[in-house]
Copies of this chain bind each other. A is one copy, B any other.
Amino acid sequence: MKLSTTSQYAIRVMIFISQNSDIKIFHAKEISEKLSIPYKYLTKIMSKLVEANIITSTRGREGGYSIAKKSVNIKMIDLVKAVDDSLHDTTCVLGIGLCNENKKCALHDEWREPKESMLNMFCNTTLKDVSEEAS
């Protein structure tokens, strides 16, 4: 019961970028080393974030990645959706295709609250929220 590694990486990368707003451009190598994410795996994820207009990239020498919009306008759910949408199949906890209010799986009612709590968290939490917290 966890986010995909890909989603976890995407979130960690964006928090890192957001927390270092003094840096204007980030290189894949740098992010990879700082966050211990395999370089080639990271660049694949970055491309997805670029495609989703969360990150802008500059190619060539002196190029790199930078954040495309204010962190207050980036929700956690956006990050997950951009890379693999691993939250999408949280719909039915028993993985039953046809499970909805009319035709409920056995755990449907019990699962409602945890599911909503989880989805609400991802929908209502912004990158700014989590980047500002102390540790």
| Contacting residues of chain A (75-107) with chain B, CB-CB under 8 angstroms | 76, 86-87, 89-90, 93-95, 103-107
Count the copies.
2
Contact between B87 and A1 (Cβ–Cβ < 8 Å)?
A: yes
| Bound Cα distance A11, B117 (Å) | 22
Given A104-B135, A106-B15, A114-B114, A95:B1 Cβ within 8 A: no
Contact between B117 and A86 (Cβ–Cβ < 8 Å)?
A: no
A91 to chain B minimum Cβ distance, whole angstroms, is 9
Contact between A89 and B125 (Cβ–Cβ < 8 Å)?
A: no
**Which listed residue, B5, B87, B106, B117, touches A117 by the CB 8 Å rule?**
B117
The interface residues of chain B lying within 8 Å CB-to-CB of A62 are: none
